[in-house]
Chain A
């Protein structure tokens, strides 16, 4: 059973470009979560999605960041007009249900903005 799959694993973008990070949850998991880990910082919750719905986006920056989890295909975290401060590791996690379950993290996508 494949784990949470994220791609790309490493992404380099110039300031002002767009970054798209993809996440395929574990088989049978319908709940997806995105976390960000800035350099020398702890992981911080960004957003929780179910298929076609954003359930909790309380950790998302108000501008330039968006997330979706379409009916078909992976979840996408999109960062528009990237700035140097967006350089971080972005981790996706999934669970089969939201109650009483451990969430399982993917290996992360490392974004570098130059």
Chain B
């Protein structure tokens, strides 16, 4: 089983749609969780951290279920600029030493006009 598994995608949605990405991780010792976005042939950029209580940042909502080892990202009212690959990322460390990140393969999202 891969350490971090994501929906294979790709997702093609119209502008304004709501889209959800799912991710599971295998290492129950994982302590920190993130969503990154990566544009084509660019570096990954941190979108948001994910907390057990769930967190929201504008149109983006992230959820974590430690018991199921499951992470999700919901994008509401999608924009053309949301088109990118979304990467689920986990780290074995809490707070500190977040350098040894484990990345999923990513899910490609294309938002169409």
User: Which residues of A approach B to under 8 Å, CB–CB?
Assistant: 31, 33, 35, 40-45, 48, 56, 89, 91, 93, 95, 98-103, 105-108, 110
Contact of B98 with A42 in the complex, beta carbons under 8 Å? no
Contact of A99 with B103 in the complex, beta carbons under 8 Å? no
In the complex, the chain A residue whose C-beta lies closest to that of B5 is A42
Partner of B96, one of A99, A108, A110: A99
Measured between beta carbons, the chain B residues less than 8 angstroms from A45 are 99-102
Contact of B99 with A42 in the complex, beta carbons under 8 Å? no
User: Which residues of B approach A to under 8 Å, CB–CB?
Assistant: 4, 41-46, 87, 95-106
Contact of B96 with A100 in the complex, beta carbons under 8 Å? yes
Given contacts A42-B106, A43-B103, are A91 and B44 in contact (CB under 8 A)? yes
In the complex, the chain B residue whose C-beta lies closest to that of A32 is B99
Measured between beta carbons, the chain A residues less than 8 angstroms from B104 are 42
Measured between beta carbons, the chain B residues less than 8 angstroms from A44 are 103
> A31 CA to B100 CA in the complex, in Å?
13
> A103 CA to B99 CA in the complex, in Å?
7
Measured between beta carbons, the chain A residues less than 8 angstroms from B100 are 45, 48, 56
> A93 CA to B46 CA in the complex, in Å?
12
Measured between beta carbons, the chain A residues less than 8 angstroms from B43 are 91, 105-108
Partner of B45, one of A31, A48, A101, A105: A105
Measured between beta carbons, the chain A residues less than 8 angstroms from B46 are 102
Measured between beta carbons, the chain B residues less than 8 angstroms from A102 are 46, 98
